[in-house]
Every structure is written in structure tokens, then in C-alpha cells.
Structure 1
Amino acid sequence: MTPRRLRLLMNLWPPFLFAGIRVTAMGEGFRHARVELRQRWYNRNYVGTHFGGNLFAMTDPFWMIMTLRALGNDHVVWDKAGEIEFVRPGRGLVHAEFVLDEATLQTIRDATAGDAKYLHWFTTDVLDASGEPVARVRKQIYVRRKRRAAPPGAEPRPVR
């Protein structure tokens, strides 16, 4: 799947579509993404600011998807944990950017070179139109290399 097609499909994905979340950029090689959330009557909370669940949702799948696509089919990548810190009330247009650099990917590749699992934390700031942080989201992903079937006649791998 191309980055453009993934961006279009994510914009039609019901959790994003009905919350007003829009993926505005998905870079080549899945190394960059930008997401926006414009405040509307249907995505405000009781006190008239952005609903916190939408601020978390707009950042939810990107680190896992970008890491999976960048590492290729020989790795397993899952979301493991997430947390959000609300820095200040969010109003109007907010956005988040995700940039997956080669140094991070190399760290993950090195850590998973054997059968080891690796847990990595990513931090993303959700910013308002003036560039001030509204929320800080941390996502932890689980990564390991896929276990391949043993060749015929080989000793089976021990179960861990």
C-alpha cells in the first residue's frame, strides 16, 4: 500500500472520520505523518474544548504503522502502552507530527537482531495553531523479528 492510499483510507476510517480527525500528510517510506483536528460542535467536550479522547485517538496508530512499514515484513510490531498528559485546554485547530528517523530504526533493528523483543517509547506533542502544546502523548511499541519455520529435519526452537 502506498502512503497516499493509506492516508486516504485513514481519513475514511470511522474513528477518524466521525471525530473530525484528518491525516494531511503521509510521507514517502512512511517516515513522516501529520494529523489535524479542527474543533467542531460534535467533537467538543462539556466545557467547550477538544475532547481528550480525540486528542489521544489522533495520535494512536501512527508510530505502530510507521515502524511496521519502515522495518518491513520480517518484524512484528504492536502497540503496547499509551499515556496522555493534558498540558492546556485545546481549542480551534490542533495538529500532531510524527517523524521516524533512521537512528531510531537502527536502534530497533540492533535490539531485535536475535529473538529478543524490544519496547520503545515515542513522544508526540499535540500543538495548537500558535505552536503551543495542548497535550503530550507517549506511545510504547513492542517489536521483535518474526520467528521463521525451521527447515525440514532441523531441531525445533525452544518455546519461551
Structure 2
Amino acid sequence: MYRRTGGRLLEVSDDFRLVKIKLPLNYKTRNYVGTIYGGHMYSCADGIYMVQLINILGKNYVVWDKSATIRFKRPGDKTLYAEFLITDELLQKIEDDIKQHHEKDFHLFVNLTDKAGNIYAEIEKVIYIASKEFYQNKKKKRTAAN
């Protein structure tokens, strides 16, 4: 499925904390004016943080992609790269916040850059995370109310 975004996985660490991708400018990703389609720039980043967190947090959590924003900084006229990193600090914050509030939206960011580090797009992902028990109870209440 991921290959259809135009993106290519370069590296996935064994613990899922680091994912590196590239988005080549080629005949599949090139638009009418010769640069990477904006949709490809977004879709190559879609789902990565969610999949990382599902694998890292395990079965006691529910993780959903909730929304995204992309800010194009310059036309994608060459191969672009992104690194999705889940830090110890972020994992601790998730644990602490979910322990206290049971659910929360987390704002995570990633940039699409060239090899020199020039930013072509800034992407913000909003990821919903809840304890599985809380989420299942919330879902039951919603179903019972309907």
C-alpha cells in the first residue's frame, strides 16, 4: 500500500522509533509543472507516526490519525526525505498524559527536506491516543446512547 504514495522506506529501526523515507521526483510523482504533486508530498508522510506508535505502545493503547496540515515552502523539484523519530521524552509524555487524562491529541511534526536539509514542506499530524480500556468504555457509551 505505501508504495502507491510515491514514497519509499529507507530505514525502519527494530524498535520502530525511527523511520526514514524518501520521495523521489519521477514520472509517477511529477505534476504538470515538473515538480512533485502536493498530494504525494502529504501522502508519503500519512500513517507513519500512527504505525510507529501502534507498534511502540502496544495493545493497551488505541492510536488514530486524527488530522494533518501541510505547509508547502517551495516546489519539490528533487528527491525529498523525511525522518520520523519517536523520542523517549515523547513516550514518557504520552504515558503520563494518558495515565492522567485517559485520552489526548498529540501534535507531531515532520519536514520534507532535500539532502542539504532545505525544507520543502512542513507537516503537522494530530494523533489521538487513548488507553484501550477508556476507549472501549467510551465507545460502549456512545453506542448505547444511539
TM-score range, shorter chain: 0.7 to 0.9
Choose 1 or 2 for highest CA Rg.
Answer: 1
Look up the match of 2:64: 78
Q: Is 1:113–2:99 an aligned residue pair?
A: yes
Tell me what 2:26 maps to.
Answer: 40
Instruction: State the superposition RMSD in angstroms.
Output: 2.0
Is 1:55 the counterpart of 2:41? The answer is yes
State the 1:114 CA deviation.
5.1
Counting aligned pairs with the same residue, the percent is 30
The Cα of 1:18 is off from its aligned counterpart by 3.5
Q: What residue in structure 2 maps to residue 100 of structure 1?
A: 86
Higher relative contact order (CA 8 A, sep 6+): 2
CA–CA distance in 1 between the matches of 2:77 and 2:115?
A: 9
Q: 1:32-87 deviations in whole A, cap 9, x for unaligned?
A: 00010111122111211110000101111111111111111100000011010000
Stretches (4+) displaced over 3 A = 156-160
Structure 2 unmatched runs, 5+: none
How high is the TM-score relative to the length of structure 2?
Answer: 0.87
More helix by percentage:
2
Q: TM-score, normalised by structure 1?
A: 0.80
**Are 1:88 and 2:40 matched, yes or no?**
no
